[in-house]
Amino acid sequence: MRRFLKIGKKTDGNPAPEVPERRNALRIGTSGWHYPHWRGRYYPQDLPAAKWLAWHARDFDCVEVNNSFYRLPSVETVRQWCAQVPESFRFAVKASRLITHLKKLRQCEAALQAFLDVADAFGARLGPILFQLPPRWHVNPRRLAEFLALLPPWYEYAFEFRDPSWHCQEIYQLLERYQAAFCLFDLAGHQSPMVVTARLIYIRLHGPARQAYHGCYTEAQLEAWAGRVRRWVHGEGHKVCLFFDNDACAYAVKNALALKRKLGLSSNM
């Protein structure tokens, strides 16, 4: 399998050199920001939707872009987003479902190229790239290995495997070989294994309730995550990106701010 040497600023196939931004080893945010039901709960009632991202960036230094899973934003839209946030802000971007759900990582070179072209538009504000694989798709190590070989090595990648058959040693070893993160998540009462496969640890918390994206994490649950994050960042030297996806009732914002306080992180203001 060939690599996509066309993509990105580097074209020699070697990993990008360490840059100062990587010193920021802990980022906590939400999965998405454009939620009408957050008006009055998080966003002021009279704040136009066009200013929600800038408001969000007052409290957080990152966000996970979810709508790219359904439809790729234009390069111009990406540039407009970047203009609304500080230089230190990072966008984690979820890959198109055309790659993960329709193509299932096979014969997806054109779709991957199109997605990474958009990802490149984030420039220095680009964070990790997330590939969420579908439930009810049984583990396929060969398919994953071939896909990993396609990916340019100068981005950070995370893989969220919704089907538990992928939670096995062979997959963990593949991810470790390519330094791609095994996404830790909880969803509708299911907790993924706590497996670390790369320097990056990527976490998605979809809510503690049986219904996905609902419920508010308790103080005890948040304290448990704070302890894990402290160990990974300060004890083991990992980089952690953690996103709350329990958008119902703006619980994601409430929980993200609470976890930031527990970890001694201030807002961006």
249 lies in some domain? yes
How high does pLDDT run on average in the chain? Answer: 92
Percent of the chain with pLDDT over 70: 90
Answer whether residue 94 is part of any domain.
yes
- Residue 184: predicted pLDDT: 99
pLDDT computed for residue 103 by the predictor: 97
Residue 215 inside a domain? The answer is yes
Residue 117 confidence (pLDDT) above 90: yes
In this prediction, residues 109-114 reach a mean pLDDT of 97
pLDDT computed for residue 268 by the predictor: 63
pLDDT > 60? residue 1: no
More confident residue, 66 or 7: 66
Q: Is the pLDDT of residue 173 over 80?
A: yes
Reported as a pLDDT band with limits 50, 70 and 90, residue 11 is: very low
pLDDT tops 60 at residue 77: yes
Residue 215 has pLDDT above 60, yes or no: yes
- Decide if pLDDT at 31 tops 80: yes
β strands within the chain, DSSP E: 26-30, 62-65, 90-94, 126-133, 157-161, 181-182, 184-187, 190-191, 200-205, 239-244
Radius of gyration of the chain (CA): 18
Looking up tokens 């096995």 gives 168
Task: Classify residue 56: in a domain, yes or no.
Answer: yes
Q: How many domains does the chain have?
A: 1
Is residue 154, in this structure, part of any structural domain at all? yes
Confidence check: pLDDT of 15 > 90: no
Backbone angles phi, psi at 201, to 5 degrees: -115, 120
Residues ≥6 apart with Cβ < 8 Å to 200: 128, 156, 158, 179, 181, 238, 239, 240, 241
* pLDDT of 25: 94
CA distances from 59 to 55, 101, 124, 178 (A): 8, 33, 20, 33
Is there a contact between 98 and 58 (Cβ–Cβ < 8 Å)? Answer: no
Q: What is the pLDDT of residue 189?
A: 85
Please report the pLDDT score of residue 33 as a whole number. Answer: 98
Taking alpha carbons only, the member of 154, 135, 129, 133 closest to residue 241 is: 129
Write down the pLDDT at residue 209: 86
Residue range of the domain that includes 152: 22-262
The whole-number pLDDT of residue 34 equals 98
Q: Where residue 57 sits, what CATH number does that domain have?
A: 3.20.20.410
Q: Is residue 16 part of a domain?
A: no
Greatest distance between any 2 Cα atoms in the chain: 52
Whether 203 shows a pLDDT value over 90: the answer reads yes
pLDDT of 6: 47
pLDDT band at 24 (very low <50, low <70, confident <90, very high): confident
Task: Please check the confidence at residue 241 and state whether its pLDDT lies above 80.
Answer: yes
